[in-house]
Amino acid sequence: MRIISKMLEESTAFSLPDIPADAQEVLFLDIETTGISRANSAVYLIGCICLQPDGWQMTQWFDDTGLDEKTLLSSFLIFCSRYHYIINYNGNRFDLPFLRARAEHHGLLQDSAAFLSMESIDLYGYIAPYRHLLGLPDYRQQTLEQTMQTGRTEDADGKAMIEAYKKYLLLPSSAMLDRLVSHNEANVTGLIRLLPLSAFARLEDMQLTVTQAQANYFRDYEGKQAEELLVRFRMDLALPVRIYAGADHCYLKIEKDSGILKIPLFTEEMKYFYANYKDYYYLPREDMAVHKYIATYVEPDHRVQAKPQTCYTRKTASYLPQWSLYRTPFFKRRFEDSDIFFELSDDMKKDRDALSDYAAYVLHHILFPQKAPRKAKAPAQ
């Protein structure tokens, strides 16, 4: 077994606001294996980065004979006992269960207590809920690094490294050794550069401020003139990967800490339906409902008992969509419609806080369609 250790040349600032950890408590980890089966494959290379008094240190344990897995694991387990967090990429599904299984296979569970108690910070877990929004061809670590422009040039996959390791065991060479350890080093140093992915953990609770809101006219796919509310906003966090998404004819683009929302705006006549229809008469000539207290002054042959479908008043205004009872009063085109809207009033157009809150509501609907909708901070007046 070889242990390869060196100080990293680059100066790396540790920043992960989602855990109460100091840099000295953190271990960045990546492993290389001879296959994906924990029962039939072995760990041949473990790479870690940790912070030492002189800076960031890279340490790698390499099984150069194919026979030293137990020694490799034992040495690593002793080394990592001083740390509390393991930062990895997709390690919760692969690296960590693999290490546990191989430690158990070699009877090292007693030496694994510290390792098993460490808290895993899987960077893939931050973006996993948003895969459908990122539009990447795959979610390998190399793909994320390329998207985030970390500067990584090495792009070999695990399968190629398995073949390279087999060739090394048959005919060891310094060139093949350098290829193997360099791939692992690129994976581990890449974890530090992927730390900004942790910003996704705060996306659901981020604060949004509208910087500009204006009506925009355009031609839809049928060539008809349509109207939308174009909202530009800033967030109190910066995402390292662009988001493009849409839902219910609303469209979203987020780049770093800025974004644009396109929300359909409907200027037309809509109806407000009264709930207590038994207290209303419907006036066919006027096509509206009025309360019975007022309708007593209307000729009986000009009024009929209102039904749920006819108990409404009409209003022409500009309306915005809502997918829950976000603001009241709410309007519909027809009684049986499920789509509901609220009026974009002149007061709301001038109220940046109200626009920011509604933009956050729409953003939440696009990003988290399965979760409970946001509520308005205050009901419309």
184 shares its domain with 227: no
Which pLDDT does position 179 carry in this prediction? 96
Which pLDDT does position 381 carry in this prediction? 35
9 shares its domain with 88: yes
Which is nearest to 141 in space by CA: 8, 257, 30? 30
| Span 118-131, average pLDDT | 94
Which pLDDT does position 281 carry in this prediction? 94
146, 181, 201 - which closes a domain:
201
- Beta strand pairing status for 85-88 and 208-219? unpaired
Domain that holds residue 239: 203-274+311-381
- Beta strand pairing status for 208-219 and 119-122? unpaired
DSSP single-letter state for residue 375: P
299 belongs to a structural domain: no
83 belongs to a structural domain: yes
284-312 burial: b if 16+ Cβ within 10 Å, else e:
eeeebbbeeeebeeeeeeebeebeeebbb
The residue with tokens 């709410």 is 330
Which pLDDT does position 255 carry in this prediction? 96
Which pLDDT does position 304 carry in this prediction? 93
Which pLDDT does position 14 carry in this prediction? 59
Farthest-apart Cα atoms in the chain, separation: 104
Lowest mean pLDDT among 3-17, 283-297, 362-376: 3-17
175 shares its domain with 217: no
What is the identity of the amino acid at 51? L
- Domain harbouring 80, CATH code: 3.30.420.10
142 belongs to a structural domain: yes
Whether 11 has a pLDDT exceeding 70, the answer reads no
118 belongs to a structural domain: yes
Which pLDDT does position 236 carry in this prediction? 94
Task: Give the model confidence (pLDDT) of 277-294 as tens digits.
Answer: 999 999 999 999 999 988
- Top-confidence residue, 111 or 229: 229
201, 235, 252 - which closes a domain:
201
Q: 24 falls in which pLDDT band (50, 70, 90)? A: confident
138 shares its domain with 258: no
Whether 37 has a pLDDT exceeding 70, the answer reads yes
12 belongs to a structural domain: yes
Percentage of the residues of the chain whose pLDDT score is greater than 70: 94
Task: Give the model confidence (pLDDT) of 40-99 as tens digits.
Answer: 999 999 999 998 888 889 999 999 999 999 999 999 999 998 899 999 999 999 999 999
Q: How many domains, the chain?
A: 2
Whether 12 has a pLDDT exceeding 80, the answer reads no
Which pLDDT does position 374 carry in this prediction? 62
Which pLDDT does position 351 carry in this prediction? 93
189 shares its domain with 212: no
Cis omega (within 30 of 0) for bond into 329: yes
207 shares its domain with 177: no
Sheet containing 2-7: give its strands across: 2-7, 55-62, 43-52, 26-33, 85-88, 119-122
- 152 Cβ contact partners less than 8 Å away, ≥ 6 residues apart: 142, 145, 146, 186, 190, 193
What pTM was computed for the model? 0.85
63 belongs to a structural domain: yes
